[in-house]
Homo-oligomer: A and B are copies of this chain.
Amino acid sequence: MSSITLTAFRWVPPMVQGIVRDVRVRWAVEEAGLAYQTRLIGPAEQKSEEYQRLQPFGQVPAYDEDGLVLFESGAIVMHIAERVESLMPQEPTARARARVWMFAALNSIEQHVQRLTELDLFSACEDWAALRRPAVLEAAQRRLAMLAHSLEGKEFLEERFTAADLLMTTVLRIPHHMDLVARFPVLEAYRLRCEARPAFQRALADHMAPFATKPGA
């Protein structure tokens, strides 16, 4: 029985609660039926030399499994997924296709929705933001339209739910401050279908639980 410790934030502002990247890893661990414990950190621990040794970019999550230290949510999800058929098919073609969509979620979709979300959440009052937003919105919409086209008539990105759908769902959750995804009924139905999985519900609840107490409160 392996011992898994996942590092997550003790508290984040309400506008990013539910979209921090530890949700992905919690979800994968839940789908895989593994037990894990969390190490909750705050800004001081995040900036510490000790944490930088685990996670060179000072980000969350970091993952420790019996001394094997991993970071990058995509890499951690892939590591967990490969041990369970339910997240990653053993059959080589299906596996290669699932991995294509894992990279697509993080590289062809996430950066666009992330850019728009960051702009809206953190820079809305800056002069450049008003000038820049239309192009950033348009780029995000264009990518989502292509994704919707790929999902037309399908339940999941490939034949059945895999770790790629897990990652893609967490990416579609990022612009939760607006109706960007909801404007594509195919994507909204897909997101809700994936979020309905009990493993996601447990992961989200466990991610949110610490935020009920504001630090210093």
Contact = CB atoms under 8 A, between A and B. Distances in A.
A157 to B, nearest CB: 10
Interface residues of A, number: 40
Given A56-B146, A56-B150, A79-B99, 15 more contacts: A52-B149, A70-B97, A70-B100, A71-B100, A72-B103, A75-B100, A75-B102, A75-B103, A79-B96, A103-B106, A107-B110, A115-B115, A126-B131, A127-B128, A128-B132
Contact of A108 (B52, B57, B99, B146): B57
Contacts of A56: 104, 146-147, 149-150
- Of A57, A71, A106, A146, which is in contact with the most chain B CB atoms at under 10 Å from its CB? A57
Interface string A100-130: 1011101110110011000000000011110
Interface of A: 52, 56-59, 68, 70-75, 78-79, 93, 96-97, 99-100, 102-104, 106-108, 110-111, 114-115, 126-129, 131-132, 143, 146-147, 149-150
A71 B104 contact: yes
A interface: dominant SS: helix
Contacts of A73: 103
A16 to B, nearest CB: 17
A72 B107 contact: yes
A103 B108 CA distance: 13
Contacts of A146: 52, 56-58
Nearest to A56: B150
A108 B59 contact: yes
